[in-house]
Amino acid sequence: MILILLFFWVLILALAAFRGTHIIPHQHVFVVQRLGRFNRVLESGPRWIIPFVDAIAYRHSLKEEAIEVHEQTAITQDNVSVILDGIVYVKIVDPVAASYGVKDPVHAVLQLVQTTMRSEVGKIPLDKSFEERESLNAKIVEAINQAALSWGIRCLRYEIKDIKMPEEICKAMELQMTAERKKRAMILESEGQRQAQINLAEGMRAKVVLESEAGKIDRVNRALGEAEAIEMLARASASGIGMLASALEERGGERAASLQVAEKYLEAFRQLAKEGNAILLPSNLQHPGAMIAEAMAIYGQVKGKSALSEVRGA
């Protein structure tokens, strides 16, 4: 009989020990109550509680959790009804506050997200609700963290999934976007034409400048060439005159000069007969000797005048 009682007692102790042993997964915590009051928080690993005295009241996951926010209607600042939905990412940072600070943390966060989203959307017009999504998400996260501080929950981020509008508003926005795109296209086209005209004008100006510079350089080169030609001709004439003067001073120079003058005189009449239709001829054309004598007389007169000028100058 004693053995039977002892066996039952050992069996009860074994069952109690088995019931009091718990293996807690990683990133999970258990909140233990002793006789209905908070006792402690059990972290991951094998843990043991007193059977029939201690009880696990709450089980929490410390992982980040994504909660879907269902569609809801909000009114923007310009009185346009829109339908929004989103996803909020939350994490339990204080298991005790999450257990005793609020009855249902997830439900409370969802209600807070919906009310905060409606409030923030009502502060901005419809056009900016699309442009300022990041700012809107940040404001909602800030508002949730301030309100959920006593719940042991922290909102990590919030993302708006979709914004739906009435069909009339969608059509009006499409027309507005089409008009804006046409406006930008016309502006870009006009800017392109303006730039093209500017480029053409600058090209014409550069062409005129280059042509004027080229003409200037050409005229300068021509003037320099003509000046050099005149200078060289003058030098050649001066050299010829000097050589002619030296030749005249030599013996027989005057006779040679007289003969050359006579030849030039006759050559002039020959060229005049070739080029013109009307010819003015001297009366003594039938006597070439008389023409030569006349040319020699002219040469003698010129020479005499030159000698007289030299005497007077001396």
Q: Is 37 helix (H, G, I), strand (E, B) or coil?
A: strand
Biggest CA–CA distance in the chain, Å, is 193
Per residue in 87-98, pLDDT (tens digit) is 999 998 888 888
Check residue 248 and give its pLDDT.
Answer: 59
C-alpha torsion angle, residues 71, 75, 76, 78 (rounded to 10): 150
Structure tokens at 188: 């870009």
Q: Which residues of the chain have pLDDT under 70?
A: 1, 3-20, 240-241, 244-245, 247-314
User: Is 137:74 a contact under the CB 8 Å cutoff?
Assistant: no
The predicted pLDDT at position 250 comes to 65
Q: What is the pLDDT of residue 308?
A: 47
State the SS3 of 116-141: HHHHHHCCCCHHHHHHCHHHHHHHHH
For residue 311, the model assigns a pLDDT of 45
Strand 28-34 relative to strand 37-42, pairing: antiparallel
Residue 221, burial from CB neighbour count under 10 angstroms (0-12, 13-18, 19+): exposed
Cα distance between residue 251 and residue 261, in whole Å? 17
Which residues is 154 bridged to in the sheet?
91
- Long-range pairs for 215-224 at CB < 8 Å and ≥24 separation? none
Residue 141 to residue 158: CA distance in whole angstroms: 6
Tell me 78's DSSP state. T
Q: What is the pLDDT of residue 30?
A: 92
Given the DSSP bridges, would you call strands 153-164 and 65-75 parallel, antiparallel or unpaired?
unpaired
